[in-house]
Amino acid sequence: MALDVIDQKILRELQNHGRMPMVELAERVNLTKTPCTQRVHRLEDAGIIRGYRADLDPAKLDAGRVMVVMVTMDKTSDDALERFNEAVRYIPEIQGCYMVAGNFDYLLKVRTKNVEEYRSVLGYKIGQLPNVLQTHSFLVMELVKDEFNVPIPID
């Protein structure tokens, strides 16, 4: 689906203010309410807008400690990777799982209350994932940038 300048503006606005009333969104992108609403529905139907979420403060919800974990697999057959991928989806502390090319197979972003809780997640959950050979954990001392917004091109 090709995005025009107005679609791009709508996406930028909604990414920053997902609960914005449609009338305000329409004003910001120089449309009236009806065509703006139609465009938003079209973007939703196309799967470009996948949903709307609240931006929660992890520290206030006892999930302020971030660990980055490198995972090396004992085998990387399609079946082994798929079993790992499926199992990772059921561990809520794992916020991101990225299959990578390089000296290890996966990079995980893990959130817990503290290092003690992370140690439990590592031993009882991550370490028990299918085909995990080895892990290396790195404590994130400071989140300098942790964006969720997708860069939207400007035409």
* CATH classification at residue 22: 1.10.10.10
Q: How many Å apart are CA 64 and CA 76, to the nearest integer?
A: 32
Mean confidence (pLDDT) of the chain: 95
Nearest to 62 by CA among 119, 125, 111: 111
The residue to which tokens 């794992």 are assigned: 94
Would you give the DSSP letter of residue 31?
-
Residue 38: which pLDDT band, with cuts at 50, 70 and 90?
very high
Q: How many Å apart are CA 32 and CA 99, to the nearest integer?
A: 44
Q: How many Å apart are CA 137 and CA 140, to the nearest integer?
A: 10
Residue 117: which pLDDT band, with cuts at 50, 70 and 90?
very high
The structure's pTM equals 0.86
Q: How many Å apart are CA 14 and CA 21, to the nearest integer?
A: 10
121 and 69 housed in the same domain: yes
Phi and psi (nearest 5°) for 79?
A: -65, -45
Is 69 a domain residue?
A: yes
Q: How many Å apart are CA 40 and CA 56, to the nearest integer?
A: 24
133 and 91 housed in the same domain: yes
Domain range spanning residue 92? 59-139
Is 37 a domain residue?
A: yes
At 20 the three-state DSSP class reads coil
